A and B are shown apart, each in its own frame.
Chain A
Amino acid sequence: MPNDGTSSLADLNEQFGDGLSVNGDNTFTDPGVEGSVKINVHANVAPGETVP
């Protein structure tokens, strides 16, 4: 099969794009920034409003 660099370069591009998308979310929802809302939402729901 011909190796013209297309496959490896396209895959690197995909890693970069996907990685930025996922890591960007992780930064955004980290407890130190904003995730405390997310975590505490689930931890501090009133007693009558709990999961089984």
Chain B
Amino acid sequence: MKKNNLKLAAKTLLLTVALACYSRAQAGKFDLGEKFYGWSSNYVAPANFSGYEIWTPVSLNFKLAGGLNLFAQGEFGNAGYTDSLAGTSTTYFTAFSDTVAGGELSFKSFGVPSQLTIGFNIPTGNPTWEARQIAANMPTDLVNSRYQGRGFGVSGMYGLSFPAGSGEVGLSGGYMYSGAYNANLNLGPADNLDLGDALFLAMNHVQQFKGNQNQIIRLSGFAFLPTTQNGVNNFQMGPNINASYSWVNPKALSFSLGGQYFLPAQRLLNGTLGTEPKNSYGPRIYLNPSYAIGDFTLAGRAKYVFANGYALTESFYQGGGLLLGVEPSLKVRFDEGSSLKFLGSFDNITAQNAGIDSLGNRTNVTYSLWTFGTNYEVRF
């Protein structure tokens, strides 16, 4: 009851702030979408690992005077997750997600364009959703989770942009605080899960060319504080390093090519956190090409996750996998300020050695994921 009152108060506050911003906004953007996800796997009946999700994402963006840009976003979801953990059954959810709201302030510091971004994760969602969807879900190494219902969080990033010849070089640092929440893992009486805070450092080089074409080179890294459960250190992700190259041509071929490398994590060893003997996370690489013809875009995606450092017989083994997807989309413009986008996609996902066959040997699990949806955007 108390939680419901808090959620109602948070939603009322958000609505009040949104209305106040709208009355003072110089410009803004409103998005409302509807998107369906449906997937199945190659498990043999009566086993069944599959699911569907229907999302209604909504976001608001206001540009105010003084270089301040405010934003808020969330989504309403209706989903069913089928797994064969203890007999085959389906769990249904209908709830709003957490709300992410914050602001970006643009100004000058050290004589160059700068930006400070602050975001709040407001726990308006269902904190048990993510834990209870896991068995039916596709590997999140390959397909990101679509829902977020966690604890209160704050993230902040400070960035600077320096001129570099005919291009610009950006540098930034960020931090994300994650508050504890009850994820319903059923592993303890209080079951407070506090995901480790994250530190972020990044740089990029952006070069602009004729016809709004861009080349972007990125290098970034994340480091993490320990994740705790009921106040006890449980796990700490190793730092990771990311590098990517993007070529953006809004009227023809664009692509993004990148990779991510993780250092070993800290695990509970004899009651204390220590560096794991082998690496939990395999490196990953991706290529996302797209081709635009007017308002029609055909996008593709390929992602490969290498197996981690553990042997096939060890409990922390993860075999990685491959995702191959295609996504056509069409934008229908009504006028200069509003448009409706239609999109659909198909992804073939292979989780390497994630299942066992009838002889007890490890074998691949494959998923087929279909999506279709629409998004209405209006600028004011």
Instruction: Name A residues whose Cβ lies closer than 8 Å to a Cβ of B.
Output: 1, 3-9, 11-13, 15-17, 19-39, 41-45, 47-52
Contact: B365 with A15, CB < 8 Å?
Answer: no
Contact: A12 with B193, CB < 8 Å?
Answer: no
Contact: A34 with B131, CB < 8 Å?
Answer: yes
Partner of A25, one of B144, B163, B171, B222: B144
Contact flag A7-B104 (CB < 8 Å), given A30-B237, A49-B46, A51-B365: no
User: Binding site of B, secondary structure by majority: helix, strand, loop or mixed?
Assistant: strand
How far apart are B169's CB and chain A's nearest CB, in angstroms?
Answer: 7
Question: How long is the Cα–Cα vector from A11 to B151 in the complex, in angstroms?
Answer: 27
Known: A32-B235, A43-B354; 10 extra A-B contacts, CB below 8 A, are A8-B159, A8-B169, A8-B170, A9-B159, A12-B115, A15-B172, A19-B200, A19-B242, A36-B315, A52-B42
* Cβ proximity bits B228-261 to A, threshold 8 Å, 1 near / 0 not: 0100001101001010000000000000000000
A-B residue pairs in contact (CB < 8 Å), sample of 19: A1-B210, A5-B170, A7-B214, A8-B204, A12-B115, A16-B117, A16-B172, A21-B144, A27-B227, A30-B280, A31-B318, A32-B268, A37-B134, A39-B354, A41-B49, A45-B47, A45-B84, A45-B355, A51-B365
Contact: A12 with B204, CB < 8 Å?
Answer: yes
Question: How long is the Cα–Cα vector from A9 to B220 in the complex, in angstroms?
Answer: 14
Q: Is B155 an interface residue (CB 8 A)?
A: yes
* Cβ proximity bits B276-309 to A, threshold 8 Å, 1 near / 0 not: 0000110000000000000000000000000000
* Cβ proximity bits B78-94 to A, threshold 8 Å, 1 near / 0 not: 00000111000000000
Instruction: Name B residues whose Cβ lies closer than 8 Å to a Cβ of A.
Output: 41-44, 46-47, 49, 83-85, 104, 106, 112-115, 117, 119, 130-131, 134-135, 137, 139-141, 144-145, 148, 150, 155, 157, 159, 161, 163, 166-172, 174, 176, 178, 183, 185, 193, 195-196, 198, 200, 202, 204-206, 208-210, 214, 216, 218, 220, 222, 224, 227, 229, 234-235, 237, 240, 242, 265, 267-268, 280-281, 315-318, 351, 354-358, 360, 362-365
Contact: A27 with B237, CB < 8 Å?
Answer: yes
CB neighbours (8 Å) of B204 from chain A are 8, 11-12, 15
CB neighbours (8 Å) of B159 from chain A are 8-9, 12-13
Question: How long is the Cα–Cα vector from A36 to B186 in the complex, in angstroms?
Answer: 13
Most buried by A among B148, B157, B208: B157
Question: How long is the Cα–Cα vector from A35 to B280 in the complex, in angstroms?
Answer: 11
Contact: B208 with A27, CB < 8 Å?
Answer: no
Contact: A19 with B104, CB < 8 Å?
Answer: no
Most buried by B among A23, A25, A44: A23
Cβ-closest chain A residue relative to B360: A47
Contact: A39 with B318, CB < 8 Å?
Answer: yes
Contact: B157 with A16, CB < 8 Å?
Answer: yes
Contact: A50 with B356, CB < 8 Å?
Answer: yes
Contact: B357 with A51, CB < 8 Å?
Answer: yes
CB neighbours (8 Å) of A39 from chain B are 315, 317-318, 354
Question: How long is the Cα–Cα vector from A18 to B119 in the complex, in angstroms?
Answer: 13
How far apart are B354's CB and chain A's nearest CB, in angstroms?
Answer: 4
Cβ-closest chain B residue relative to A40: B315
Partner of B316, one of A8, A24, A28, A31: A31
Contact flag A30-B216 (CB < 8 Å), given A5-B113, A15-B204: no
Contact: B227 with A26, CB < 8 Å?
Answer: no
CB neighbours (8 Å) of A11 from chain B are 170, 204, 206, 216, 218
